[in-house]
């Protein structure tokens, strides 16, 4: 687009602005999610306060952690594959970066409004598997290797339920374009009443559940955190990473959580749109805030489950994906198709 908030700019400047915004968005999103849920919500659930020192109520704790990580010594294990070791975190963060390209935050606030937006988002999110394998293998550490192999199996297995959950939404919206999906929800109606539009969570509740479970597994969060099982592998494939390389992993993990929550909010909760408000100028400003609020709700659910449940063993995890979630997803698509044709 060549209009950035009604300012005419050449394509180079536009590209530069978009790049900077997205690159800034990922750490910011990671920090916000990390502080709210990891530091404060988890602490309060565990009947403790969490960080209180850095900034009021510890809001600057993650900033302080970031600075701490950046000034640490860069240690590479002597027997590691140096180049692969160095590039692996970048691969993971890159796949996170690529998801943000298609997520819309307003009527025109999207980096690139691809017609195959959903397809693209799910495809690039699975690039992180390569980064995980690279990290685990190049670390020259048996624990890291165990973690990476577990992660590879798990991430590939849970791609399918993720996909099947989204197919129902696509069938109902009639398009893979994310702006189109937002529009379908905002302008839709429930049995004729268009008060709150037609958020797909109402009809695709099975899909929503599947998406949450599958994204929990894609993010290797408990109950699917075998690859980084803290009490067994002590950070699994990330165990040999220190300093700013670990910071990359951390930002990648929470940035991806941010992205998946945003995707879920867009696909199931209506995205940036408030049904009934059509003033595009207003929505350019309000849209990001609305999207932010909705994704925080989704993220709350994800992290709440993370801090409560024990973790599944690898074979139980795989059995859950292949024997339970995929059949449910297929059944969901079948029912959605029937309803779509019938109504």
Partner 1 sequence: MSATDTPVPRLPELEVDRRAWRHLADAAVGVELDTGDMILNLGPQHPATHGTLRLVVRLDGERVLAADPVIGYMHRGYEKLTEVRSYPQITTLINRIDWLSSFANEVPFIHGAEKLMSIEAPPRAQYIRTILTELSRIATFVLFLGEMGLQVGALTPAFWGFRDREHVLNLIEAATGGRFHPNFNRIGGILDDLPWGWINETRNVMKIVIDSCDVFEDILAGNEIFEARTRSIGIIPGALGAAYGVSGSNLRASGVDWDLRRDGKPYLAYPEIDFKVWTHPDGDSWSRYWVRLQETRESALMVLQLLDQLPSGPIMAKVPRIIKVPEGEIWVETENPLGQMGYYIVSKGATGPFRVKIRSASFSNVSILPWLLRGVYVPDVITILASLYFILGDIDR
Cβ proximity to partner 1, 40 vs 311, nearer residue:
311
Render the burial of 242-261: b for 16+ CB within 10 Å, e for the rest: eeebbbbbbbbbbbbbbbbb
* Furthest CA-CA distance within the chain: 67
> What is the token pair recorded at 268?
């199931």
Q: Taking CB under 8 A as the rule, does residue 314 contact partner 1?
A: yes
Sequence-ordered list of residues with C-beta below 8 angstroms from that of 136, at least 6 positions apart, any chain: 144, 145, 147, 148, 149, 151, 236, 237
Kindly state the smallest distance separating residue 142's Cβ from partner 1, in Å. Answer: 5
Q: Select the residue interacting with partner 1 from 26, 109, 124, 229 (CB under 8 A).
A: 229
312 binds partner 1 (CB under 8 A): yes
Comparing CB distances to partner 1, the nearer of 223 and 287 is 223
Segment contacting partner 1 (CB under 8 A): 46-54, 168-176, 238-246, 261-269?
Answer: 46-54
The least distance separating partner 1 from the CB of residue 194, rounded to whole angstroms, comes to 40
Q: Is 315 in the site for partner 1 (CB under 8 A)?
A: yes
The answer to the question of residue 231 lying near partner 1 (CB under 8 A) is: yes
Binding flag, residue 79, partner 1 (CB under 8 A): no
DSSP 5: T
**Taking CB under 8 A as the rule, does residue 230 contact partner 1?**
yes
How far apart are alpha carbons 196 and 276 in whole angstroms?
8
One residue of 12, 53, 73, 142 binding partner 1 per CB under 8 A: 142
Tokens at 117, concatenated: 């937006």
One of 1, 5, 23, 45 touching partner 1 (CB under 8 A)? 45
CA-only gyration radius of the chain, Å: 20
Under the binding rule (CB under 8 A), the answer on residue 46 touching partner 1 is: yes
In the list 6, 8, 12, 48, the residue contacting partner 1 (rule: CB under 8 A) is 48
Distance separating alpha carbons of residues 21 and 28, to the nearest angstrom = 10
Closest CA to 264 of 330, 320, 215: 215
Residue 44 as a binder of partner 1 (CB under 8 A): the answer is: no
Q: In the structure encoding, which two tokens stand for residue 59, read together?
A: 């809001």
- The residue among 221, 224, 228 whose CA lies nearest residue 261 is 221
Residues 188-227 that bind partner 1 (CB under 8 A): 222-223, 225-226
Q: Is 307 in the site for partner 1 (CB under 8 A)?
A: yes
190 is written with which tokens?
């429930």
Query: Which positions lie near partner 1, rule CB under 8 A?
Result: 42, 45-48, 142-143, 146, 222-223, 225-226, 229-232, 234, 306-316
């Amino acid at each position: 687009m060549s209009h950035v908030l009604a300012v005419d700019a050449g394509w180079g400047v536009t590209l530069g602005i978009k790049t900077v915004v997205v690159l800034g968005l990922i750490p910011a999103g990671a920090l916000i999610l990390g502080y709210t849920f990891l530091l404060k919500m988890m602490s309060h659930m565990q009947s403790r306060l969490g960080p209180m020192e850095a900034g009021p109520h510890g809001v600057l704790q993650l900033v302080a952690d970031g600075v701490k990580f950046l000034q640490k010594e860069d240690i590479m294990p002597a027997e590691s594959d140096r180049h692969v070791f160095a590039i692996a975190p970048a691969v993971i963060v890159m796949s996170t970066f690529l998801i943000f390209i298609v997520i819309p935050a307003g009527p025109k606030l999207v980096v690139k409004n691809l017609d195959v937006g959903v397809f693209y988002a799910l495809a690039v999110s699975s690039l992180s598997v390569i980064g995980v394998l690279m990290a685990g293998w190049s670390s020259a550490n048996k624990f890291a290797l165990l973690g990476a192999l577990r992660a590879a199996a798990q991430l590939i297995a849970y791609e399918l339920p993720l996909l099947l959950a989204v197919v129902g939404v696509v069938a109902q919206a009639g398009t893979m374009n994310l702006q189109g999906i937002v529009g379908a929800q905002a302008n839709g109606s429930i049995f004729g009443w268009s008060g709150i539009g037609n958020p797909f969570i109402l009809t695709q509740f099975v899909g929503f559940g599947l998406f949450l479970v599958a994204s929990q597994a894609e993010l290797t969060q408990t109950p699917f955190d075998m690859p980084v099982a803290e009490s067994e592998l002590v950070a699994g494939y990330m165990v040999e990473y220190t300093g700013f390389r670990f910071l990359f992993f951390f930002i990648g993990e929470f940035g991806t959580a941010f992205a998946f929550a945003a995707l879920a909010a867009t696909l199931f909760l209506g995205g940036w749109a408030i049904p009934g408000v059509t003033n595009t100028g207003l929505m350019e400003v309000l849209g990001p805030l609305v999207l932010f609020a909705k994704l925080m709700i989704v993220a709350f659910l994800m992290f709440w489950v993370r801090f409560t449940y024990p973790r599944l063993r690898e074979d139980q995890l795989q059995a859950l994906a292949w024997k339970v979630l995929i059949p449910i997803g297929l059944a969901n698509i079948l029912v959605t198709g029937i309803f779509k044709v019938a109504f």
